[in-house]
């Protein structure tokens, strides 16, 4: 289970996420209360191991601007959170995460040139969830799906069980009074990773039952 903690603004928050087992951290370079400068992001990036992937979040920025910041900061992924066309994504040299608000998903989601598709809430960053059952009617490849939108320590396990994404993403869900909270970051990552272990156990148990059934059937 990929876990991404987005909206990172301090070395402390980044280090907490890394130590707790986060796979990705996100820097917001678009206008936002969580926006950071390339200089700040570069400093924070130096605080975490290279195994934790660094994601730059942009909204309708030019390819040259994104590439420049990616090189300066040392980004591993570019997350496109606006109306970027597939042509824009193809111009980028780094893997792309394409974000779609749940109410704006169309057929493009199945063919968009990206490593991951991120499905967010209606108002990204608001901390509000959406009806996850909507994804049952959409052409979403679960092996590329990162789920976001109001995820927090107390609902991330339910979200994973219901949606079956390859990863989860949160920002406001691990904050208190607009600031990343150490305890909530740790709790979120622990809950998400524990769900993966639970699913693995269930799958292995089902395999054992199937094997036992097949063995007895052959007698």
In a structure prediction context, what are the per-residue pLDDT tens digits for the chain, which is 219 residues long?
999 999 999 999 999 999 999 999 999 999 999 999 999 999 999 999 999 999 999 999 999 999 999 999 999 999 999 999 999 999 999 999 999 987 777 667 888 999 999 998 766 656 677 888 878 877 778 899 999 999 999 999 999 999 999 999 999 999 999 999 999 999 999 999 998 655 544 444 444 445 454 555 555
pLDDT the model gives residue 135: 82
pLDDT the model gives residue 218: 56
Catalytic residue among 6, 23, 114, 169: 6
Q: Is 120 considered catalytic here?
A: yes
Nearest CA-CA partner of 91 in 127, 117, 65, 71: 65
Nearest CA-CA partner of 120 in 148, 160, 155: 148
pLDDT the model gives residue 67: 98
Please tell me the distance from the alpha carbon of residue 150 to that of residue 130, in angstroms, as a whole number: 8
Q: Is 6 considered catalytic here?
A: yes
pTM (predicted TM-score) = 0.87
Contacts of 65 (CB under 8 A, 6+ apart): 58
Domain coordinates in residue numbering, the chain:
2-193
pLDDT the model gives residue 120: 87
pLDDT the model gives residue 140: 78
Please tell me the distance from the alpha carbon of residue 46 to that of residue 40, in angstroms, as a whole number: 10
Asked whether 139 and 145 are in contact (CB, 8 A), the reply is: no
Catalytic residue among 11, 23, 114, 120: 120
Please tell me the distance from the alpha carbon of residue 114 to that of residue 105, in angstroms, as a whole number: 15
pLDDT the model gives residue 132: 87
Contacts of 117 (CB under 8 A, 6+ apart): 97, 98, 99, 100, 109, 140, 141, 144, 145, 146
Please tell me the distance from the alpha carbon of residue 39 to that of residue 21, in angstroms, as a whole number: 25
* Architecture in CATH for domain 2-193: Alpha-Beta Barrel (3.20)
């Amino acid at each position: 289970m990929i876990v991404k903690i987005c909206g990172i603004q301090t070395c402390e928050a980044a280090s907490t996420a890394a130590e707790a087992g986060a796979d990705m951290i996100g820097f917001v370079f678009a206008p936002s209360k969580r926006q950071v400068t390339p200089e700040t992001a570069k400093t924070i990036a130096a605080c975490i191991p290279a195994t934790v992937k660094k994601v730059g979040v942009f909204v309708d920025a030019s390819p040259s601007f994104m590439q420049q910041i990616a090189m300066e900061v040392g980004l591993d992924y570019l997350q496109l959170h606006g109306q970027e066309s597939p042509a824009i994504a193809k111009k980028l040299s780094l893997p792309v995460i394409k974000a779609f608000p749940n109410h704006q998903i169309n057929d493009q989601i199945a063919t968009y040139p990206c490593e991951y598709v991120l499905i967010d809430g209606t108002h990204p960053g608001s901390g509000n969830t959406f009806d996850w059952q909507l994804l049952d009617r959409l052409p979403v490849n679960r092996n590329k799906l990162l789920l976001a939108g109001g995820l927090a320590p107390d609902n991330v396990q339910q979200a994973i069980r219901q949606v079956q994404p390859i990863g989860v993403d949160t920002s406001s869900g691990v904050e208190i009074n607009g600031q990343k909270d150490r305890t909530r970051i740790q709790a979120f990552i622990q809950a998400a990773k524990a769900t993966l272990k639970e699913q693995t156990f269930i799958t292995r148990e089902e395999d054992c039952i199937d094997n036992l059934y097949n063995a007895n059937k052959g007698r």
